[in-house]
Amino acid sequence: MKLAYYSPMPPERSGIADYSALLVPALRRRVDVDVARRGKSARGDVALYHVGNDPDSHGWIVEALRREPGVVVLHDFVLHHLVAGTTLARKDGKGYLAAMERDAGLAGRLLGLGVIDGCIPPLWEVRPEDFPLCGEVLDLATGVVVHSAYVEERVRERGFERAVWKIPHPAWPAPAVTPERVAGSPVLGAFGNLNASKRVPQLLDAFARFRESHPDAQLLLVGAAAPGVDLSGRIAHGGLEGAVVHEDYVDERRLWALMAGVDVVVSLRSPTMGETSGTVVRAISLGKPLLVSDVGWFSELPADVALKVAPDVREVDRLADAMEALADPGVRDVMGARAADLAATEHGLEHVAELYAAALEEAAGGEAVRHAVLREVSAAAAEVGFEPASGEAGVLGRALDEVEI
Amino acid sequence: MCSPQVPFARGGAEILAERLTHELQAHGHEADLVTMPFKWYPGAKVLTHALLWRLADLTEVDGRPIDLVIGTKFPSYVVKHPNKVVWLVHQFRQAYELDGTDLGQFGDSAEDRATRRAVHRLDRVALGEARTLGAISQNVADRVKRNTGLDAEVILPPPQQLDFRCDSYDDFVLSVNRLDRAKRIDLLLEAAASDGSMRVVIAGDGPDRERLERLADKRGLDGRATFAGRVSEAELADLYARCRGVYYAPVDEDYGMVPYEAFMSEKPVVTTRDAGGPLDIVRDGQTGLVIEPRADELARACRFLLEHEAEARSWGKAGRAIAERVTWDHVVERLLG
């Protein structure tokens, strides 16, 4: 089987480019893959489109999807930023309004007009989760690959009736790096851009509380602070000078080294756009215990790998409690071993590639198989006088459904 | 008891299903064997024939409930029942480890690939709903784990009931097999050709017989290779009773009854590292010899047995102790427990 593969690829810098760089070689061991160059077409029996929320990385992929429907890998459920970037940013106000109306009816169109006229702030910044704008992509998709039950549910809620395959994010093999350790014990690390959704204030408040009983604890923050996030002010406010180390952008190798040097990886998020976290996947590859927000994909991590805290009014207390639990080296060892096991099994690259191959082979030929089976069964039924709408035909249909034929 | 039937073909799986039915009756249960014809080609036929099993209503018959169904070989375990047990003989191997080999069935077309995947999904559903999932060998259990992620308990089937005994350790090596290429009888003939005094007796018949007889002629075995053909149970028991050892080395066999029969006759078994099921009980230097699948190694192994009767006796006795532990009482207890 030949696969037309649409995705950002290195040297483009994006999480999905990294994802495809990891996946494609394993996929090529199973199917013939033609990777489309940016803006160009690829050829295959079935096409696979990686769609994320970044218009620069994925705008051309959605255009290709419009030309030839195929299987969509929905890396983010919320695509508001993508749609805004491929409509409003290209002076296509009508396109944006159409997407808003598709999502939320007339009220959506009116809100869109408000955004265009500058009467209300951009919705992709303030309320993207309320208007995911994934309708067009789902309409064009012949099947959807998701990474979580959370996104699968959202997709089904929107009335998508075609095939959905839940395929875990593949784990990167942990590179042979020398761990780079910050002095202190225990050391907690948070990795990735420090923007409003990463719950930095709550993390710092909880860490300050935790540090009262663990004065040697250190918090390592790796990633650029987004505009509007006053990191140094926050650190000073919490009395955490000397207890928090901040590294701005680091290259991939150093990221692994720094992550390998921490005792716990913290990955907080709210709201969620239905995304997975490359940081979390790297962390389990390294066998690190996790502290995460109890939202979306993160909620589906096994309880013996990740402690989960809901982003509610008691978040800070519970984060501090979780840090307390993770201060026990025995607890960290058990959770870390389970994390490494999870990376090698459920998130194992070959396992994930096999799931992709199964999904794509079904997408390419499944309809023909279903027709062949139905032709034979219905011909036999008709020969002995069963009407299509009869009870007997219903029995046949249910039996086919039960065994997923 | 559910077992598919390929019209005009009969092999180990059919014998096993009949035997278990008989043993269930002997253990005081009312048991009957249900069969349906199975055809696996062309195209999606494998799926429609599997569907036949799904449509069979075995929850009750003539107003009397059926308490339990036991599925065995694909696709009989697709049957639906609230109390389903599977004693797995094998899955549809063409959709798994045989795919892409000479023994595979599915080509590169999109429909063939998708049919293969549909068999995978069907297996996950049908095997996943079993209350107990047993496998007839470690090899079959390993395969089902690899193919579906499901854990199966190894429940070994005992050998058929023959007049097992040990009369002597004569100077011939016995092969008991259906004669087809996968059984690798040619390896035994090549080994005999390379050892001027080695005698072999080949019991069984099959599509590869003519080729094997030609090979024996070509290698000038001059009566040192005897093709005994299909033999009676009494003749088979007699061959086991008199041979020095038994050669049994099919490619990746599901189970393999022959080693158990050899052991019941206190004879050691020569097998190969890639033989699958036989490796559950044939231990190198304890109950037989495990070698690479090469004629020179096989010749050396057979020569060793012919020159070391004491080891052959000792390994055969050790094998018997193992085979005697495999009983129908245990099988019935595990499947019904």
Query: Is residue A353 a part of any domain in this protein?
Result: no
Model ipTM? 0.79
pLDDT at A228: 80
Looking at the fold, whether A239 and A282 belong to one and the same domain comes out as yes
From B111, B126, B155, the end of a domain falls on B155
Q: Which residues of B118-157 are buried (b: 16+ CB within 10 A; e: fewer)?
A: bbbbbbbbbbebbebbbbbbbbbbebbeebbebebeebbb
CATH value at residue B66 = 3.40.50
In chain B, which residues have their Cβ closer than 8 Å to the Cβ of A393? none
CATH value at residue A334 = 3.40.50.2000
Q: Is A4 left (phi over 0), alpha (psi -120 to 50) or beta?
A: beta
Please tell me if residue B117 touches chain A, with a CB cutoff of 8 Å. yes
B39–chain A nearest CA distance, Å: 14
pLDDT at A397: 85
Q: Is B38 left (phi over 0), alpha (psi -120 to 50) or beta?
A: beta
3-class DSSP assignment, residue A219: strand
Query: Is residue A144 a part of any domain in this protein?
Result: yes
CB count in 10 Å sphere of residue A212:
9
Looking at the fold, whether A199 and A94 belong to one and the same domain comes out as no
On the 0-12 / 13-18 / 19+ scale of CB atoms within 10 A, A384 is exposed
Query: Is residue A296 a part of any domain in this protein?
Result: yes
A116–chain B nearest CA distance, Å: 47
Which parts of chain B have pLDDT scores under 50? none
B190, B219 in Cβ contact below 8 A?
A: yes
pLDDT at B220: 92
Looking at the fold, whether B137 and B53 belong to one and the same domain comes out as yes
CATH value at residue A69 = 3.40.50
* Spatial separation of the C-alpha atoms in residues B116 and B126, rounded to whole Å: 15
pLDDT at A3: 97
pLDDT at B313: 97
Of A358, A395, A404, the CB nearest to B125: A404
pLDDT at A297: 95
Looking at the fold, whether A107 and A225 belong to one and the same domain comes out as no
On the 0-12 / 13-18 / 19+ scale of CB atoms within 10 A, B160 is middle
Q: How far is CA A16 from CA A283, A364, B44, B283, in A?
A: 17, 23, 37, 50
Looking at the fold, whether B207 and B248 belong to one and the same domain comes out as yes
Looking at the fold, whether B118 and B70 belong to one and the same domain comes out as yes
Strand B269-272, strand B245-247: pairing: parallel
Query: Is residue B299 a part of any domain in this protein?
Result: yes
**Single pTM value for the model:** 0.84
Looking at the fold, whether B126 and B269 belong to one and the same domain comes out as no
Q: Which two tokens stand for residue A172?
A: 């990167």
Looking at the fold, whether B146 and B198 belong to one and the same domain comes out as no
Looking at the fold, whether A212 and A159 belong to one and the same domain comes out as no
Q: Which residues pair with B35 in a beta bridge?
A: B3
Q: Which two tokens stand for residue A273?
A: 């756009």
Looking at the fold, whether B22 and B126 belong to one and the same domain comes out as yes
A74–chain B nearest CA distance, Å: 23
* Spatial separation of the C-alpha atoms in residues A191 and A170, rounded to whole Å: 19
E strand map for A107-263: 141-146, 163-166, 187-191, 218-222, 244-247
| Residue ranges making up the domain that contains B223 | 172-323
Looking at the fold, whether A82 and A135 belong to one and the same domain comes out as yes
Q: Which two tokens stand for residue A390?
A: 């009869």
Looking at the fold, whether A154 and A283 belong to one and the same domain comes out as no
Looking at the fold, whether B191 and B54 belong to one and the same domain comes out as no
Are the Cβ atoms of A365 and B113 closer than 8 angstroms? Answer: yes
Looking at the fold, whether B22 and B88 belong to one and the same domain comes out as yes
From B155, B185, B206, the end of a domain falls on B155
B53–chain A nearest CA distance, Å: 10
A109, A101 in Cβ contact below 8 A?
A: yes
If one counts the domains in chain B, the total is 2
From B121, B155, B189, the end of a domain falls on B155
- Kindly give the confidence (pLDDT) of every residue in chain A, 405 residues in length, as a single tens digit, with 9 standing for 90 and above: 899 999 999 999 888 999 999 999 999 999 999 999 999 999 999 999 999 999 999 999 999 999 999 999 999 999 999 999 999 999 999 999 999 999 999 999 999 999 999 999 999 888 988 999 999 999 999 999 999 999 999 999 999 999 999 999 999 998 999 999 999 999 999 998 888 789 999 999 999 999 999 999 999 999 988 888 889 999 998 899 999 999 988 888 999 999 999 999 999 999 998 889 999 999 999 999 999 999 999 999 999 999 999 999 999 999 999 999 999 999 999 999 999 999 999 999 999 999 999 999 999 999 999 999 989 988 888 888 888 777 877 888 888 888 888
Looking at the fold, whether A244 and A323 belong to one and the same domain comes out as yes
Please tell me if residue B125 touches chain A, with a CB cutoff of 8 Å. yes
> In what order do the strands lie in the sheet containing B199-203?
B225-229, B199-203, B172-176, B245-247, B269-272, B288-291
Are the Cβ atoms of A372 and B44 closer than 8 angstroms? Answer: yes
If one counts the domains in chain A, the total is 3
CATH value at residue B301 = 3.40.50.2000
Please tell me if residue B52 touches chain A, with a CB cutoff of 8 Å. no
pLDDT at A46: 96
Strand B84-88, strand B69-71: pairing: parallel
pLDDT at B262: 97
pLDDT at A388: 76
Are the Cβ atoms of A365 and B114 closer than 8 angstroms? Answer: yes
- Which segments of A117-199 does DSSP mark as H helices, in order? 123-126, 135-140, 149-157
For an interface test with A, the pick among B41, B113, B119, B127 (most A C-beta atoms closer than 10 Å) comes out as B113
Query: Is residue A278 a part of any domain in this protein?
Result: yes
Looking at the fold, whether A333 and A191 belong to one and the same domain comes out as yes
Query: Is residue A330 a part of any domain in this protein?
Result: yes
Look-up: residue for tokens 């930095």?
A200
pLDDT at B309: 97
In chain A, which residues have their Cβ closer than 8 Å to the Cβ of B112? 365
Looking at the fold, whether B176 and B319 belong to one and the same domain comes out as yes
Looking at the fold, whether B129 and B192 belong to one and the same domain comes out as no
Looking at the fold, whether A336 and A370 belong to one and the same domain comes out as no
Look-up: residue for tokens 């009407």?
A387
Looking at the fold, whether A324 and A201 belong to one and the same domain comes out as yes
Are the Cβ atoms of B44 and A366 closer than 8 angstroms? Answer: no
Looking at the fold, whether A218 and A333 belong to one and the same domain comes out as yes
Looking at the fold, whether B186 and B100 belong to one and the same domain comes out as no
A292, A298 in Cβ contact below 8 A?
A: yes
Q: Which two tokens stand for residue B91?
A: 């899955």
Q: How far is CA B31 from CA A107, A343, A352, B52, in A?
A: 67, 47, 43, 21
Looking at the fold, whether B36 and B177 belong to one and the same domain comes out as no
| Residue ranges making up the domain that contains A197 | 187-344
Query: Is residue A178 a part of any domain in this protein?
Result: no
A189 secondary structure, DSSP code: E
Looking at the fold, whether A74 and A159 belong to one and the same domain comes out as yes
Query: Is residue B125 a part of any domain in this protein?
Result: yes
CB count in 10 Å sphere of residue A54:
18
In chain B, which residues have their Cβ closer than 8 Å to the Cβ of A362? 114, 117-118
Distance from the Cα of residue B82 to its chain's centroid: 29
pLDDT at B160: 82
Look-up: residue for tokens 């995304």?
A275
